[in-house]
Structure 1
């Protein structure tokens, strides 16, 4: 189960429960660590879900929205990774994943769940350690991200800013 699906399931489980659900219970049901649940709850709160922590577990009030998300196709150099990711998180978005479709090797996807500059720096440290290379390097810089935000308006602003910086690949750019 990928991050977005898991977070939607967390909302569904908490909303459908008559009593608070503990992080331990959610981690067992969803097959992930309790720490992943804590991180997912933080991401959901950042998206304005009213999740309340009690001594007995999590409760949710006034759930009325789904998490808006969008898949974007982008292109940039290694030196622009930081700017691209910071652009998304600074405008209120979350970079859920990165994926490529390689003509020979197929589909590769890595979950990121980056929601702030500290997490951007953590990723850059891992990449700069030399133990891994960005997936985009397998496709000469072209790759995709799933991004989420609290509303479609925020997603639109993020995409406009990425386009302004020359990172976003749109259908119009592909045709020209």
Structure 2
């Protein structure tokens, strides 16, 4: 086996064994190469069919065994923390948020929120005034892709969001909404 093949296998191994995102810089240090080499390796690994999720904060290996559901919610700005914490407290991840804008169509942003710490970081970025919540483009209506290790967790998330009054009755994603 070549050094390149071994390095790519090690990248997969590192991502498999990490519960958090792993930055390109961190991978480069661990493997003794430049970050650019890591970026190229990731591109090749993806082309080979590896399900690697990339963000500006790092990489993660997608777990294809996870359960995923898109839900429609609506709430005021002051309820964002309550909504996000309700989801992560039940053990689910908020993969993204998106809206269906009447002019622009679907606008989607990756969130990758898995913990209360991630929620706090997200809220501090919103409160800094850099940007507004995406839901404000569509009178508070928005969708989240929620991911969990078990179907029961997704069911619990829906029940909790319904109890809080955030879950929309047409909660399943419909491209006509």
Give your verdict on TM over 0.5. yes
- 4+ runs of 1 displaced by more than 2 Å? 23-35
Structure 2-normalised TM-score? 0.67
Pairwise CA RMSD of aligned residues? 2.6
Structure 1-normalised TM-score? 0.67
Q: Does 1:27 align with 2:16?
A: no
Contact 2:72 2:170 in 1 (8 A): no
Q: 1:94 to 1:131 in 2, by over 3 A?
A: same
Q: Equivalents in 2 of 1:108, 1:143: separation in Å?
A: 10
SS in 2 for 1:163: helix
Q: Does 1:162 align with 2:128?
A: no
Alignment-derived partner of residue 145 in structure 2: 146
**Which among 58, 71, 74 is matched to residue 36 of structure 1?**
58
> Could you list the runs of 5+ residues in structure 1 that have no partner in the other structure?
1-16, 45-64
Aligned-residue offset at 1:34: 9.6
1:112-167 per-residue CA deviation (whole Å, 9 max, x = no partner) reads: 00000111011101100111000100001000000000010110011100000000
Alignment-derived partner of residue 125 in structure 1: 124
> Could you list the runs of 5+ residues in structure 2 that have no partner in the other structure?
1-5, 12-26, 28-37, 47-51, 172-177
Alignment-derived partner of residue 91 in structure 2: 92
